Amino acid sequence: MSGFLVTILVLHIFGGLVGMIFLTSYMLSLLKEDADLKKLSRISFYALLAFLGSWILGGYYYLTYYGKAVKPIITKGDFVWVHKIVMETKEHVFLFLPFLALSVFLVTFLLPGIMSKDKNLKTSVAFLAFIAQSIALLVAVFGIIISGAVGK
């Protein structure tokens, strides 16, 4: 694998992890009594940018390298199910993340006044951030499993 592709691969992982960190920070901060919604709006925007970046970089790696060089190794080995279940789920479930992050961002950005007063809305959006970062965590764990299958 070329140095360029290694960089792309690392940056797509980094983007996903940064998105997760921002969403976790968002969720924990939102549950505070005196949550700063202007700041949280920025944090959720950064999470959205991180997932969009990871989408483009991960997509580039997947399209130019995974199918040609990684998939054949996995499908010829003892862990064919890793491609058929784990990779297939990862590449499709990842597509949910930018839309979840966009929803968290837009609700926070457009309605800070309503959010600061409506405890039910705050709780539901915090839970939305939680489910988004849980899916991102699942995708990250799936990535580790796929890397493990290549080495075996």
Q: Does 84 bind another protein (CB under 8 A)?
A: yes
DSSP 93-141: HTTHHHHHHHHHHHHHHH-HHHHHH-HHHHHHHHHHHHHHHHHHHHHHH
Binding of another protein at residue 4 (CB under 8 A)?
no
Q: In the complex with another protein, which residue's Cβ is closer, 135 or 150?
A: 135
Q: How far is the CB of 109 from another protein (least distance, A)?
A: 9
> Rounded to the nearest whole angstrom, what is the least distance from the CB of residue 2 to another protein in the complex?
20
Query: For another protein, how many residues bind (rule: CB under 8 A)?
Result: 34
Measured between alpha carbons, how far is 40 from 58 in angstroms, rounded to an integer?
Answer: 26
Among the listed ranges 19-27, 30-38, 40-48, 111-119, the one in contact with another protein (CB under 8 A) is 111-119
Provide the residue type at 53 as one letter: G
- Tell me if 66 sits within 8 A of 52, measured CB to CB: no
User: Closest separation between CB of residue 120 and another protein, Å?
Assistant: 5
